[in-house]
Structure 1
């Protein structure tokens, strides 16, 4: 598997390190011979060598010089992202660029270009999946390519693969989840007595929240994840912008303490439910009782519950962010593709 990274920030570097560190294990246990042949990053530059790049040296160049092109053993320098996808010998594109979630660009164009040239894609970008899943999947299928996006909802925690594999045969009637670690961390700290602003500042200091936390605290991040779950797990496409959405910006200490006095907890929840009229989805803060399984989820942790007709309620919890965890979500897709090729078996989509 020849790999090209489109974008090489923290997640891309984490995956490259995993592939290098576990090279022998991946080949012996899964038959995955992964070779990084190209990297293109809008800010850091690009390098390509058809025989493979030296990953430790590449990462050292980035971290010491902030410039991929400080790497000295490439055959070609300066390709842009589209050229890297089209003109290199990569057959797997790792799309981890900074993407505008409202437009899905530039990730959508990168995915389309890859599929049209017979190259598979794994990505952690929510935009393309929330906005154009059906079209992109059709294009991938038409060109016999794989489209992997496990990391778009709960990073390395398999919120998409679980219902499509382990829970096969069930009718999933409802999905409820805590899908944003930043907001769950803020609400947890507020229960300890911190104000909203104090908890937000602490989340930013720990790296859970961005300098501009709007997407998290207004619920927009969860809204796009909800759209992905609705389409992929529940089988009905809903525009993210049509999903009612309320964040936690208006949450006060009085509200938090009142809930605690009622043996309840405030959580920012995504809900997707089957009704006689179709799928209903919403994002917003809810008070849930102490005995609700999601009430015990603390800090920057994510969790999701699937209400199954045969298996009953199934809950999955784990990290919803983190460089290595997100890198893992991309790795598991690559292993899945490799095993499917080796065994000539079906690929779960």
Structure 2
């Protein structure tokens, strides 16, 4: 097998970035021997520690253990850092997508492939980013942007080659799912959020999870990338958890029903994120704890259900690793109507 070497950069080195770094170290030999993929890390950047560039390669084990301190800023070094692929894992900003959107533009414009877990830029500017990537022949993948490593884009790419996608309906946010279950049991919402933060599954500021923004961004990505729609997160009708009546949740639970914050979008209808009461036989009602699930209604294959059981940050990191392997294997981009017909 022909070996291909990647010079990798990290934009963001929080929970996801660190988990990805550990995974790369653990699987270095397997990647080389089974996939023909070798790598060095030439850029590490975080808001707190600055941007460190080392053309000869950075020792990831030392960086994980000791960190680093650099006066450099990512936006100042992206244009010149020796890179083949950038991992984007900075925090979500759902209204502008910045600064991640600028990071991704800068990388793609110089032919550097991008693997992103950051959903904001993809929801706001997927068409533009795909266009740049095609022009510069860069890879652009983002499996972890919607549901950790749940294989949504890879599934559609491999299993739905013919026929239209009609609707997406899913539970795509672990924190809101967990909080709704806790409230239904009579527990305070803030305690449920604190538990998710302790597990590394919720941000220090969980507002995007609790007000529906996170899930709105995700269904916009699905609609735009896989259906060719032109939605923005602000177009999504959202009902935040603060508007949910705890007494109603408890009544539904006593009646044997399950309430989930469900995101839904069809090929031509409105996009919504709202609490939905589900019967015991429904797929989304079967999701427990922080599990995620999505129903994909298709024209020819019928409904397809896919789930991720109790995902943690390691699964998000794995989705990014899988995208790196896909790019190495010659699958640089998810097929999308946004690029039109070749």
TM over 0.5: yes
Aligned residues: 330
- What SS does structure 2 have at the residue aligned with 1:304? strand
Equivalents in 2 of 1:189, 1:106: separation in Å?
Answer: 34
Of the candidates 115, 125, 130, which is equivalent to residue 123 of structure 2?
Answer: 130
State the Cα distance separating 1:207 from its structure 2 match. 4.4
- What SS does structure 2 have at the residue aligned with 1:34? strand
Mark the CA change 1:242 to 1:339 in structure 2 (over 3 Å): closer, same or farther. Answer: same
In structure 1, what is the equivalent of residue 8 of structure 2?
Answer: 3
State the Cα distance separating 1:291 from its structure 2 match. 0.9
**Quick check: 1:155–1:319 contact (8 Å CA) kept in 2?**
no
Deviations 1:255-301 (A, max 9, x none): 12321343321111011123xxx243111011111111111111111
Most deviating of 176-185 and 198-207: 198-207
State the Cα distance separating 1:41 from its structure 2 match. 2.1
1:296-311 matched pairs, under 5 angstroms: 296-311=286-301
Equivalents in 2 of 1:61, 1:200: separation in Å?
Answer: 29
Tell me whether 1:243 sits opposite 2:236 in the alignment: yes
Tell me whether 1:336 sits opposite 2:340 in the alignment: no
Gaps of 5+ in 2: 1-5, 336-342
Equivalents in 1 of 2:178, 2:239: separation in Å?
Answer: 17
Tell me whether 1:46 sits opposite 2:32 in the alignment: no
Gaps of 5+ in 1: 63-67, 70-76
1:221-260 matched pairs, under 5 angstroms: 221-260=214-253
State the Cα distance separating 1:119 from its structure 2 match. 0.9
Deviations 1:30-65 (A, max 9, x none): 111121112122311332222222211121121xxx
**Quick check: 1:92–1:122 contact (8 Å CA) kept in 2?**
yes
Equivalents in 2 of 1:338, 1:286: separation in Å?
Answer: 41
1:78-117 matched pairs, under 5 angstroms: 78-117=71-110
**Quick check: 2:15–2:200 contact (8 Å CA) kept in 1?**
no
Mark the CA change 1:294 to 1:56 in structure 2 (over 3 Å): closer, same or farther. Answer: same
1:179-190 matched pairs, under 5 angstroms: 179-190=172-183
Equivalents in 2 of 1:323, 1:159: separation in Å?
Answer: 17
- What SS does structure 1 have at the residue aligned with 2:48? coil
State the Cα distance separating 1:204 from its structure 2 match. 4.4
> Cα RMSD over matched residues?
2.0
Equivalents in 1 of 2:310, 2:104: separation in Å?
Answer: 24
- What SS does structure 2 have at the residue aligned with 1:173? strand
In structure 1, what is the equivalent of residue 281 of structure 2?
Answer: 291
Mark the CA change 1:346 to 1:114 in structure 2 (over 3 Å): closer, same or farther. Answer: closer
